Amino acid sequence: MLAALTHPIPDSLHTAIDGALVLVLLLNLAMLATSRLATCIRLFSFQCLVISVLPIAAATASDAIGIHGFFLMGGTVVLKVFLIPFILLRVIRTGDIQREVQPYLGFTGSVVVGAMMIGGAFALSSRLVLPGQAMSTLLIPVAISTLLIGLLILVSRYKAITQVVGYLVLENGIYLFGLSLLHAMPLLVELGILLDVFVGVFVMAIVVYHIRQEFDHMDTQNLAPMKEPA
Amino acid sequence: MNLLAMTIHLPVPGVAAVVTAQVLGVLLLPPLLMSVIAKTKAWFGGRDGPPWLQPYFDLLKLFRKGAVYSHTTTWVFRAGPIVSLAALLTATTMIPVLGPNSWLGFKGDLILVAYLFALGRMFTVLAAMDTGSAFEGMGSAREVTFATMSEPALFLCLAVLAISTGNLQLDDMLGTNLAGAWHSVGPAMLLVVGALFIILLTECSRIPVDDPLTHLELTMIHEVMVLDHSGPDFAYITYGAALKFTLLGSLLVHAAMPQVAWVGLPGALLWLAALMALALLVGIIESTMARLRLNRVSLLLAGATVLSGLAVLLVLFNKLA
């Protein structure tokens, strides 16, 4: 069995962690509600900043994982808070891309569906049996809802660049899940995931840029007719 | 269960002067808060603004005038302003304004308060439609549309307060018990305060939902519905709008700061300061923000509902865990 935390967490820190997790949820909803690509990416960057602090908060509760949490935070901040948003904003700027998000599902509709997903995540997580105790009871529901909302962003927006953002939000959900197993997961694996995400975004940015150069837009709907006839 | 067992909180039983002072204080307060908003907006615009007592002068002026009634209207038109104000005055007795306790209260009074607001709105809408004016019908449609979206949010907020304190009486939901809730589920309480603020802006027809100063029929929501009222009727409406702001503002302030220790005259002054700070905030928002496009308002209100729904989830989850 894994014991995620050895010491009980002090009360004020607990409130701070809960607050940060609720902020992550609100940022998810804000990403669904915003109509600007650049705002969406900045919100994502802010969400990454919030979740990057969480390993440190967990580490202060149990001193054993100090170094681990510190590396994780450093990697997240450098890659997800600065580098990836920089690449994506640069694609928007240089690619001369129309700045509005184009949703299949209206903004109000997206927010309502997102809220239902959060409700579902809370219901689901109350049935999950976890090995050991997570640093907050909210961690698992927030992780599941971030995953689901990432998926929602991925499938409900036309543009290739919002699909990249959806993929990244989904990855944030997985990262939050990983926090509940902070002890068990080796640092190398997590750094490997971060590197993968970075390379993935790098490649996707180039692909999006070339789609834009080749076809004068990056509406993924028009990619569908390009497949071979069955 | 004696559901209708009323509890009456009077500051010092038997001292008529104190009671009178408290009632007068609450009833005289609303126009002052409107003045704070007007002064804030004037300050942002680099003007001096109207005198502090201008809303009172306006009310006095309106009361001295006669009312004009169109021949096409019926008794509904005349009843509208009176019923709305009466509903709000009834709600005043159940919401704590300048102290930790309300004057009256019983288990479940939160539902009565919510529906008193709805009753007042219903009569304003009916009176507007009674005139047969197309513009007023349009305003009514908008008002009701937004109300249907802000009401679930209000109920969810009240549900959070009820669940987290285990009480169904408004002034018990806001007192000592809520201080404990702020300690155990702080994030949920923050969400409730945020949602209540959006509800306040919507229900009181403030920017970014509606502009109380606009005078173009196509863009008005609340103001267009009261265009045909004049004299004392219009005074009731103006005062009622200010009273509604005070009541919802008190709900917000008491939920945000569950201070049971603020009693007596010093306490009343502190609550007054809190309400004025809220009015200042609304004034700042009105000066720095533009009105939202009509189809974005639904997103804002859906946001308020989602915030309060999320707060319900957090509180319930906290109870289970």
Give the residue with greater pLDDT, B14 vs A52: A52
User: Does the pLDDT at position B123 exceed 90?
Assistant: yes
**From A107-111, A216-220, B299-303, the region with the lowest mean pLDDT:** A216-220
Query: Is residue A24 domain-resident?
Result: yes
Determine the Cα–Cα distance for residues A79 and B190; give it in Å rounded to an integer.
Answer: 31
Tokens, residue B68: 């004009």
| B309–A115 CB contact, under 8 Å | yes
Q: Do B310 and A25 touch (CB under 8 A)?
A: yes
Q: Do B306 and A138 touch (CB under 8 A)?
A: no
From the list A25, A111, A122, the residue facing B302 with the nearest CB is A111
pLDDT tier for residue B5 given thresholds of 50, 70 and 90:
low
* Contact residues on chain B for A126, CB-CB shorter than 8 A: 317, 320
Q: Is residue A211, in this structure, part of any structural domain at all?
A: yes
Is pLDDT above 80 for A220?
A: no
pLDDT in tens, B85-103: 999 999 999 999 988 888 8
Q: How far is A154 from chain B (nearest CA, A)?
A: 20
Cβ distance of B298 and A112 shorter than 8 Å = no
Mean pLDDT of B7-17: 61
Confidence at residue B116, expressed as pLDDT on a 0 to 100 scale? 96
Rounded Cα gap, residues B141 and B118, in angstroms: 15
SS3 breakdown of chain B: % helix, strand, coil, rounded to 5?
70, 0, 30
Average pLDDT over residues A182-188: 68
What are the chain A neighbours of B309 within 8 Å (beta carbons)?
A: 115, 119
Question: Looking at the domain assignment, is residue A208 inside a domain?
Answer: yes
Structural domain boundaries, residue A58: 11-216
Residue A5 inside a domain? The answer is: no
Mean pLDDT of B10-20: 66
Summarised one tens digit per residue, pLDDT across range A102-139 is: 788 888 889 999 999 999 999 998 888 776 667 778 88
Q: Does B2 score more than 60 pLDDT? A: no
Question: Could you tell me if B310 and A118 are in contact, meaning their C-beta atoms sit under 8 angstroms apart?
Answer: yes
Cis peptide bond upstream of A103, omega within 30: no
Are B321 and A118 in contact (CB < 8 Å)?
A: no
Whether A2 is covered by a domain: the verdict is no
Confidence band (pLDDT; 50, 70, 90) for A182?
Answer: low
Q: State residue B11's pLDDT score.
A: 54
Above 0.85 for ipTM, yes or no? no
Mean pLDDT of A189-209: 78
- Residue B119 carries which side chain, given as an amino acid letter? L
Distance from CA of A168 to the nearest CA of B (A): 23
In a domain, A225, yes or no: no
- Partners of residue B305 in chain A, C-beta under 8 Å: 115
Chain B interface includes A126 (CB < 8 A): yes
Confidence of residue B285 (pLDDT cuts 50, 70, 90): very high
The answer as to whether A1 is a domain residue is no
Q: Could you tell me the pLDDT band of residue A10, with boundaries at 50, 70 and 90?
A: low
- From chain B, the residues in CB contact with A137 under 8 A are 317-318, 321
pLDDT of residue A2: 38
Does the pLDDT value for residue A183 go beyond 70? no
Examine the pLDDT at A65 and tell me if it is beyond 70: no
Contacts of A176 (CB under 8 A, 6+ apart): A24, A51, A54, A139, A142, A143, A146
CA distance A23 to chain B (A): 9
User: A230 versus A151: which is more confidently predicted?
Assistant: A151
- Model pLDDT, residue A5: 45
Give the mean pLDDT of chain A. Answer: 80
Rounded to a whole number of angstroms, the distance from the CA of B98 to the nearest CA of chain A is 30
Within-domain flag for A4: no
Question: Does the pLDDT value for residue A8 go beyond 60?
Answer: no
- Say yes or no to pLDDT of B276 above 60: yes
Q: How many domains does chain A have?
A: 1
- Closest Cα in chain B to A118: B310
Render pLDDT for B194-213 as a digit per residue (tens, 0 to 9).
999 999 999 998 988 888 77
Q: In the prediction, which pLDDT does B203 show?
A: 92
Chain A nearest C-alpha distance from B250 (Å): 25
What does the pLDDT read at residue B244?
A: 96
Which residues are within 8 A (CB) of A59 and not within 5 positions of it... i.e. 6 or more apart?
A65, A66, A68, A69, A70
Residue among B188, B191, B299 minimizing CB distance to A111: B299
The total of other beta-carbon atoms located within 10 Å of residue B13's CB is: 9
Q: Residue B12: its pLDDT value, please?
A: 52
* pLDDT attached to residue B300: 92
Query: What string of H, E and C letters represents the secondary structure of A127-184?
Result: CCCCCCCCCCCCHHHHHHHHHHHHHHHHHHECEHHHHHHHHHHHHHHHHHHHHCCCCC
Q: What is the pLDDT of residue B154?
A: 96
CB contact A36 to B (< 8 Å): no
Q: How confident is the model at residue A3 (pLDDT cuts 50, 70, 90)?
A: very low
Q: Quick one: pLDDT at residue A230? A: 62
Q: What is the pLDDT of residue A132?
A: 66
